[in-house]
Amino acid sequence: MKDVIKMLTSGNIPFKTDMPATLVSSYRGGGTTAVIAYPENAVALAECVRIATENGVPCMPLGNGTNILVKDGGFNGIMISLIGFRNVTRHGNSLVCGAGAGLAGIANTAAGYDLSGLEELSGIPGTAGGALRMNAGAFGRELSELVDSVTVYDAEARQVRKLTRGEIPFSYRSSGNVFGKAVALETTLLLTEGISVKEKSAFYREKRRAKQPCAPSLGSVFLKAENGMSAGYYIEKAGLKGARIGGAEISEKHANFIVNRGGGTAKDYCSLMSLAHTVVESKYGITLEPEIVIVGGE
């Protein structure tokens, strides 16, 4: 990584090295990340991608780390922080949101203008970029329903371009492979004039808070089953609530959450994932698919 560090330095791009997962992942456990770069604009972000490509090291965007688990062996690549892309600007009934802007903050901004559409998503802790990639949703609402366009840096074409909603194959918790090849810079969300938007947002935030644990976690571990039932339903039915390996535990409050009870490692987390996957498949013939992103080695 010496050449990477040298090139980032010469390009005047701020970065940090050997970042522990306690500062990267909301699970607060796992390995270190070799380099986290902090580009302040699209030109600098493009330079980060070029540096990673030329040095043959993996790179990936980083929002709030709310669904990223770094394996205990660490991520020997570059995470590109989107903290410099947090703008949220109103244009009529639309909000133009930087990919690093928190979805909860975007929803609060919309509520402040009495713009409706984001109420159900107001408690989601991730960023706009992450929410786009996984088509975040809650209480029957998905972000894709509100997307008008997304401005991306296309790593293959090496240019910034705008994608319309129709160019992104959104589906349940997926945006196809669009954001595997491009980094979201900002998105325009189409909202509508509403009534009592603040009150509705507060209602959904409280509803979310009441059903989910407050200990460090990565949110929902598994996607819904193919039959539409929640993964948590099967994990709870299998009697796995409260199961613990090392410092990780399947939450007593919500069975589709794995929480860090202190000193939890990525291995602890993955072991509980494997346990839930195996038991649910054995008992009910249901194959659970992960919702979280796992990076790194060992």
Catalogue the active-site residues. 173, 220, 291
Helices 197-211 & 103-112 angle (0-180, nearest 10):
150
Cite the DSSP H helix spans in 55-99.
Answer: none
Q: What is the dihedral of CA 201, 204, 209, 210, to 10 degrees?
A: 140
Tokens at residue 195, please?
């009534």
Tokens at residue 93, please?
């009934």
| 135: region left, alpha or beta (phi > 0 left; psi from -120 to 50 alpha) | left
Q: Do residues 213 and 131 lie in contact, with contact meaning Cβ atoms separated by under 8 Å?
A: no
Interatomic CA distance for residues 209 and 213, integer angstroms: 8
Interatomic CA distance for residues 172 and 135, integer angstroms: 7
Q: Do residues 288 and 225 lie in contact, with contact meaning Cβ atoms separated by under 8 Å?
A: yes
Write the CA distances from 36 to 27, 131, 158, 272, integer angstroms: 18, 20, 21, 28
Closest to 49 measured CA to CA, from 177, 155, 150? 155
Quick count: other Cβ atoms within 10 Å of Cβ 232?
22
Under 8 Å CB-to-CB from 172, ≥6 apart: which residues? 135, 137, 142, 223, 224
